A and B are shown apart, each in its own frame.
Chain A
Amino acid sequence: MSRRVFVGIFENEEDILGMAQASRERGLKIIDIFAPYAVHGLDRAAGFKPSRLPIVCFFLGLLGAGLKVWFEFWTTAVSWPINVGGKPWNSWPAFIPITFEVMVLFAGIGTVIAFLIASRLYPGKQAKLAYPGVTDDRFAIFLEEQDATFDVEEVTRLCRHFNATHVEERSEESD
Chain B
Amino acid sequence: MAEVQAGLRQPLILGNKKPVDVSNDICEIIERKPTGLWWAAFLASLTMLIVGTVAVIYQMRVGIGTWGLNRTVGWAFDITNFVFWIGIGHAGTLISAILFLFRQKWRTSVNRAAEAMTLFAVMCAGIFPLIHMGRPWLFYWILPYPNFRGPLWVNFRSPLAWDFFAISTYFTISFLFWYLGLMPDLATIRDRATGLRKKIMGFFSFGWDGSSRTWSRFEVVYLLLAGLATPLVLSVHTIVSMDFATAIIPGWHTTIFPPYFVAGAIFSGFAMVLTLMLIARKVMHLEDYFTVRHVDAMCKIIIVTGSIVGLAYLTEFFTAAYSGNGYEQFVFFNRAAGPFAWAYWTMVTCNVISPQLLWFKKIRTNLVLVFLLSIVVNIGMWFERFVIIVTSLHRDFLPSSWADYTPSIIEILTLIGSFGLFLTLFLLFCRFLPVIAVSEVKGILSTGKPRAERPAFAEHPEADEEEVEPELAGV
Chain A interface residues toward B at CB < 8 A? 12-15, 17-18, 21-22, 25, 32-40, 42-43, 46, 48, 50-51, 53-54, 57, 61, 71-72, 75-76, 79-80, 82, 84-85, 87, 91, 94-95, 97-98, 100-102, 104-105, 107-109, 111-112, 115-116, 118-130, 132-137, 154, 157-158, 161-163
Contacts and interface: CB of A to CB of B under 8 A. Distances in A.
Contact of A34 (B209, B439, B457): B209
B212 A127 contact: no
A75 B209 contact: no
Interface stretch (B7-15, B64-72, B84-92, B464-472): B464-472
B180 interface: yes
30 contacts: A14-B446, A34-B209, A34-B211, A35-B215, A37-B442, A38-B216, A38-B440, A39-B215, A53-B217, A80-B153, A82-B155, A94-B157, A97-B239, A101-B162, A101-B232, A104-B228, A104-B229, A104-B231, A105-B169, A105-B173, A108-B169, A108-B176, A115-B217, A119-B211, A133-B191, A135-B191, A135-B209, A136-B19, A136-B23, A158-B472
Contact of B144 (A17, A71, A135): A71
Contact of A18 (B219, B457, B472): B457
Contacts of B461: 18, 21
Given A82-B155, A129-B209, A38 B219 contact: yes
Among B162, B232, B455, residue most surrounded by chain A Cβ atoms (within 10 Å): B455
Interface stretch (B200-208, B304-312, B395-403, B426-434): B200-208
A102 B165 contact: yes
A126 B204 CA distance: 10
Nearest to B227: A57
A37 B221 CA distance: 15
Contact of A75 (B156, B188, B216, B235): B156
B406 interface: no
A112 B180 contact: yes
A143 to B, nearest CB: 13
Interface of B: 18-20, 23, 144, 150-159, 161-162, 165-166, 169, 172-173, 176, 180, 183-184, 187-188, 190-192, 202-221, 224-225, 228-229, 231-232, 235, 239, 242, 439-440, 442-443, 446, 454-455, 457-458, 461, 464-465, 468, 472, 475
B162 A98 contact: yes
A137 B232 contact: no
Nearest to B203: A124
A35 B187 CA distance: 12
Given A13-B446, A37-B19, A136 B191 contact: yes
Contact of A51 (B151, B202, B217): B217
